[in-house]
Amino acid sequence: MNLKRRLFTLHSWLGLICGAFILVFFFTGSLMVFREELNKQLHPELFRVAVGERRLGYDELYRRAKAAEPAAQFYSFRYIPQAPDESLEIRIYEKQEPGRLFINPYTGQVLGKSFGSFTDQLIILHYSFFIGKLGEALAGVLAIALLGSVLTGFVVYRKHLLHALLFRTTIRWKNWRTASSGLHRVLGSWALLFNVVLAGSGLWMSWDAFDLKKIFADDKDKKEKALPAVAANIDALIAEAQRLEPGLELVRVNFPRKPDAPVTVLGRAPGSAWIWGRTASKVEFRNQAGVVQVKKVFREQDLGPAERFDFALRTLHFGQYGGLTVKIIYSLLALSSAVITITGFMLWWRRLRPAKRSAPVRRSVAVSA
């Protein structure tokens, strides 16, 4: 068996063994790219508010929310309102369950909480298949399988790649056999780079999931530790961050998770390239009342190669750049990749059950008496 044949066999088996899980990746991913839009459509009462005269300060909003929800652990201002009619979204934990708390930025009123929403379930299914740490490790293994399938497919079909990209490959719709073969080749060519980026970045982000201690750790009896409250004035921290980085677009504020941990203001600096995402610049502050004390300033222009690599992969994986157009392209490419997986199975089925050849017709010869 020559090398190309071996690679084709590996390509086939990688797709067959992991196909169902990879379909989950693509179908959930095609929806997750629209998670913010879906959330706003499904729960407008949490995300939209009547526009008032003046927004309250972020520090006051934090204090009011803490007073209204004493049982919740506050992790961050997850979403800072960008439009006048948007609510403030706070990431919380309550009874060891992650959720989100929504606040009216004009009144400080709690609009409601969200636990286990539709998009939350999509994310859990996508990253762990609802089986916790073991599922996260499985997702990493499947990312390796997907990357292997894409690369072996590239080697096997490389001679047809340019023809497919230039629309010179015709899909014959004569029957399901020829149609599946054509679709697999054409869609595979167009989605090649997309799938390499998605599989590679997915593997990169799930690398920590291969820690065996974390996989087999028993978290059932693990008690939720109370997080320290923010002692510093949040508005003063934001103002200082924007003084240190003029024009900083505020994106998120992370609250301390340990007694000595900082309060972190994250955002995007003017002129920052889209590939580094929206939180490449950040300022860490000591969590203490009174005079603002800066611990460390991180600027986008000071990022090292490894940090830039990490930011770039995360930006490309999530597709949250370039607006709605990019999200639609991501969704279509994810769905086309699902079709590639299905047609790959159909091609395997075709080889397993070859078309029945019609039996030769015997002609009767008349015999004269």
Report which residue type is found at 320: Q
Specify whether 212 is located in the same domain as 80.
no
| Cα atoms in the 13 Å half-sphere on the side-chain side of 348 | 17
3-class SS of residue 75: strand
3-class SS of residue 301: helix
Specify whether 212 is located in the same domain as 103.
no
Please give the helix or strand (H or E) that residue 118 lies within, else none: helix 118-128
What is the model's pLDDT at position 64?
98
- Convert the pLDDT of each residue in 168-200 to its tens digit: 888 888 888 788 888 888 998 999 999 999 999
Q: Which of 54, 84, 116 is the last residue of a domain?
A: 116
What is the model's pLDDT at position 178?
85
Query: Where does the pLDDT of residue 128 fall: very low under 50, low under 70, confident under 90, or very high at 90 and above?
Result: very high
C-beta atoms surrounding 184 within 10 Å: 23
Specify whether 146 is located in the same domain as 189.
yes
- Convert the pLDDT of each residue in 261-320 to its tens digit: 999 999 999 999 999 999 999 999 999 999 999 999 999 999 999 999 999 999 999 999
Specify whether 94 is located in the same domain as 67.
yes
Q: Which of 116, 138, 157 is the last residue of a domain?
A: 116
Residue 52 forms part of a structural domain: yes
**Residue 171 is encoded by which pair of tokens?**
């899909």
Average pLDDT over residues 25-48: 96
Q: Which of 55, 83, 116 is the last residue of a domain?
A: 116
- Per this entry, what is the length of the chain? 369
Specify whether 131 is located in the same domain as 202.
yes
Residue 328 forms part of a structural domain: yes
Domain CATH number, residue 96: 3.10.450
Complete DSSP assignment for 7-61: HHHHHHHHHHHHHHHHHHHHHHHHHHTTHHHHHHHH-HHHHB----S-PPPHHHH
Residue 18 forms part of a structural domain: yes
In the chain, the percentage of residues whose pLDDT exceeds 90 is 73
Specify whether 206 is located in the same domain as 130.
yes
Domains held by the chain: number: 2
E strands present in 206-262: 249-254
Q: Is 77 exposed, middle or buried (0-12, 13-18, 19+ CB in 10 A)?
A: buried
pLDDT exceeds cutoff 50 at 359: no
Residue 211 forms part of a structural domain: yes
Range of the domain at 171: 3-32+125-221+322-352
Residue 271 forms part of a structural domain: no
pLDDT exceeds cutoff 50 at 367: no
Is the Cα dihedral 138, 139, 141, 146 positive or negative? positive
Specify whether 213 is located in the same domain as 142.
yes
What average pLDDT is seen over the chain? Answer: 91
Specify whether 10 is located in the same domain as 156.
yes
Phi, psi of 22 (to 5 degrees): -65, -35
Specify whether 11 is located in the same domain as 152.
yes
Query: Where does the pLDDT of residue 369 fall: very low under 50, low under 70, confident under 90, or very high at 90 and above?
Result: very low
- Convert the pLDDT of each residue in 98-115 to its tens digit: 999 999 999 999 999 999
